[in-house]
Amino acid sequence: MDQIQIFRNLTPAALIAHALKNQEGHLAANGALTVETGERTGRSPKDRFIVKDAITEHTVDWGTVNQAFEPAKFDKLYDEACAYIAQRNHYISDVQVGADPSYAISVEMQTETAWQHLFGRCLFIERSENSVAANRPHWKILNVPGFHPDPASHGTNSTGCVILNFTRKIVLLCGMRYAGEMKKAMFSVMNFIMPEEDVLPMHCGANVGESGNVALFFGLSGTGKTTLSSDPNRYLLGDDEHGWAPKGSFNFEGGCYAKCIDLSKEREPLIWDAIQFGSIMENVILNPETLEPDYHDTRLTQNTRAAYPLKFIEKRIQANHAGLPNSVVFLTCDLYGVLPPVARLTREQAAYYFLSGYTALVGSTEMGHGSGIKTTFSTCFGAPFFPRPPKAYADLLMKKLDQTGAKVYLVNTGWSGGGYGKGGERFSIPTTRNIVTAIVEGQLANAKFETLPGFNFEIPAEVPGVDAQLLDPRRTWKSQADYEANAKELIEKFQENFKRFEVSQAVKDAGPK
């Protein structure tokens, strides 16, 4: 038997060479390493667990999202996973999560495959001297996709699992080839740790203007978070995970993980150009003759993905952290076609819509949701990744808004003039970009607003570059009776969903009626 080799801190080029030698993927014409993730082409929520022990028993919001796992069963499974990888060549790198040294955590990443290691090197931050403060926690990721747990003996729900252990500071991934599980597991870790340090962890993109003004873009995958934060006229901070600290904002990551479905150079030039040698494409079909990616081919999944380091975005914030946010955008994809393209929210309305997280699952990142599009309420615009009770994050958001005076807007990237599949049309990316530009450049600060009945938030009378007819959803419907019927149905869904939250009466009253 050949001697087992452990490869430490290999360069991306070396990892690509290993992946090709191991027959883990192919190089596309654009230079990206292209891989397939098998039956799991998205996250597996039913296979994600948190070890229930003294640290987590009374602090985690237990349920179908945060499933409990016994410490003894974790120890057994982890020992077996360690024994498994010890018999195989594998890869180890020293990385970190969090770009601010005061809040970062160091991570030893250990993976069975070279391509998943490259993914981690794209998405996590390369650790260097003094990039993590000496007193910060140290975590370990162990990712063994070739080791499949046995539900009967290991206590898992299937032959794959993602388990977070906050006492031992370990993330264990078994039987998982979809690499996005690694990044979202560490995001969940940060979402548990950060609130105790007065940092709001956020599922959002972020960018910075020439004057230093910071904008945040909350939203689920497919609603425009990555597209809108990757603005050619602004500096990208990050596309997905950030912290709002007392003195500024910072990226949790060192790269981006963009959806590839229908990607075009014209609409998303930054993302298009970033997919190059050193990046990874998941489940993207290549032309067998030219090896060019076909971003319209969804035969494997609608959740096709590309992972690339931030350095592949020329116009970015080099330090990976910036000042305090000025503008906060909640991206909602409304399938009913009754929400306006933009509305200004009060402090309490911000908390209400943040907790509601109303939007749509678009080409879902989760297994089991099929390929369709449907309405959802995802608390804090990222329910699967927040271990603590929702109120902890909403209270922290209001505290940050009070401290900074940041303005909050609800931006609908969904339908207008009718519902999805019922005669409505989706807002164009140029329309949404013009709205976002008006927000981040302060053009809406002194605009004339009126209150939209039912939802009771303010909508502007004018936005530069946007047809004024679109700004009031009532004016885009042919039948006012149809508009009102659809608005009533959506409002009732909001009210029913919000019954589960224990919040102040002021926040409850901020919702639609």
- pLDDT one-digit tens code per residue, 460-478: 999 999 999 999 999 999 9
Provide the strand spans (E) within 181-229.
200-208, 214-218
Rounded average pLDDT over 4-33:
98
Query: Nearest CA to 276 among 27, 20, 21, 449?
Result: 27
Strands 407-412 and 325-332: parallel
User: What is the spatial distance between Cα 238 and Cα 497, in angstroms, rounded to a whole number?
Assistant: 30
Q: For tokens 């179908």, name the residue.
A: 64
CB 420 within 8 A of CB 337: yes
Structure tokens at 78: 């982890």
What percent of the chain shows pLDDT beyond 70? 98
Angle at the Cα of 421 from the Cα atoms of 418 and 422, rounded to 5 degrees: 40
* pLDDT attached to residue 346: 96
pLDDT in tens, 126-181: 999 999 999 999 999 999 999 999 999 999 999 999 999 999 999 999 999 999 99
* pLDDT attached to residue 412: 96
Contacts with 257 (C-beta within 8 Å, 6 or more apart), sequence order: 123, 180, 183, 226, 239, 240, 305, 306, 307
Structure tokens at 143: 């990712």
pLDDT in tens, 391-433: 999 999 999 999 999 999 999 999 999 999 999 999 998 999 9
User: What is the spatial distance between Cα 36 and Cα 259, in angstroms, rounded to a whole number?
Assistant: 15
For residue 423, give the 3-state DSSP assignment. coil
pLDDT at 368 over 70: no
Beta bridge partners of 407: 327
Q: How many CA atoms lie within 13 A of 172 on its CB side?
A: 30
Q: Record the pTM.
A: 0.94
CB 367 within 8 A of CB 384: no
pLDDT at 1 over 60: no
pLDDT at 365 over 70: no
In the chain, the domains with their CATH numbers are 321-509 (3.90.228.20)
pLDDT at 364 over 60: no
* pLDDT attached to residue 393: 97
Q: How distant, in Å, are the alpha carbons of 10, 174, 281, 437 from that of 256?
A: 20, 24, 12, 22
Q: Residue 226 gets which letter from DSSP?
A: H
Total residue count of the chain as it appears in this document: 513
Q: Residue 268 gets which letter from DSSP?
A: -
pLDDT in tens, 225-284: 888 898 889 999 999 999 999 999 999 999 999 999 999 999 889 999 999 999 999 999
Rounded average pLDDT over 353-358:
96
Rounded average pLDDT over 96-117:
98
Residue 181 sits at φ, ψ, to 5 deg, of: -60, -35
Rounded average pLDDT over 450-464:
96
Q: For tokens 């430490």, name the residue.
A: 8
* pLDDT attached to residue 363: 56
Q: How distant, in Å, are the alpha carbons of 62, 126, 320 from that of 98?
A: 26, 10, 9
Structure tokens at 62: 């237990």
User: What is the spatial distance between Cα 167 and Cα 146, in angstroms, rounded to a whole number?
Assistant: 26
CB 192 within 8 A of CB 201: no
Active site residues: 43, 184, 203, 221, 225-226, 240, 305
pLDDT at 371 over 90: no
Q: For tokens 């502007």, name the residue.
A: 460
- What is the pLDDT of the chain when averaged over all its residues? 95
CB 28 within 8 A of CB 263: no
Helix (H) or strand (E) holding 368: none
* pLDDT attached to residue 38: 95
* pLDDT attached to residue 224: 82
